[in-house]
Amino acid sequence: MNGFKKHRGLKRYYRNLATASDFDKMPWLNAGTWFDNWHHHFDWYGYGNSSFKRRKPHLDKLFRHFDMLIGKTQSLNPKFQLYAVLLDFDSASDALFLHSTNPNNSQFPFKVSDLQSVTTLKNNQLDNYINSLDGYEKLYGQAGEAFCLIFKKGVGRPF
C-alpha cells in the first residue's frame, strides 16, 4: 500500500456542501443572544489543503452562510460584527465569525492590528477567489500565516 487513505463518500460529501445549510436547525439567533467570537468552520477535515479545487466548494458554502447570517442578524441590535477569516494555505481554519457585546467582557468591537488593504496572500488561487467576491470588504494581515479578514459594509460594526 502507498499509505494513502481513501475517503469514502466524497462525491456525496461535496454534493451536500453545495446544498445543505448548517444553520437551518439552529434557533439560537434572537434579540437577546450574545456572541463571544462564535465561529463555524466549513472544512473540518482539511480536504481543501490538498488542492484549490477541493477548497472552493467549502469557501462557496462559507459565503452562502455569510449571506444567510446577514438576514438572521437583522433582529440583533447593530452591536455585532459578522466576518470571515481565510488563511493562505489552511482550509480547515477558514471560518465565519459572529461577535457581539457579551458578558465575558471580550473586546467589542473586535480589533485586529496591522491590517492592510493590499494582499499579503501567497496563494494566488485564493487571492483570485477573494477578489472575485462582490460587495465584500477585504483586509489582509500576517499572523504566522497570511490571512484575509472579510466583512460587508453596512452589516454590523465595520473593522
Taking only the tens place, the pLDDT of each residue in 98-143 is 998 888 978 888 888 899 999 999 999 999 999 999 999 999 999 8
Taking only the tens place, the pLDDT of each residue in 31-68 is 677 888 989 999 988 999 999 999 999 999 999 999 98
**Is the Cβ–Cβ distance between 43 and 114 less than 8 Å?**
no
Q: What is the dihedral of CA 141, 146, 152, 158, to 10 degrees?
A: -30
What's the gap between Cα 84 and its chain centre? 3
What's the whole-number average pLDDT of the chain?
A: 87
Q: For residue 111, how many other CB atoms are within 10 A of its CB?
A: 9
The whole-angstrom separation of Cα 153 and Cα 149 is 13
Per-residue pLDDT, 1 = 39
Q: For residue 18, how many other CB atoms are within 10 A of its CB?
A: 10
Cell numbers for 5, please give them.
Answer: 487513505
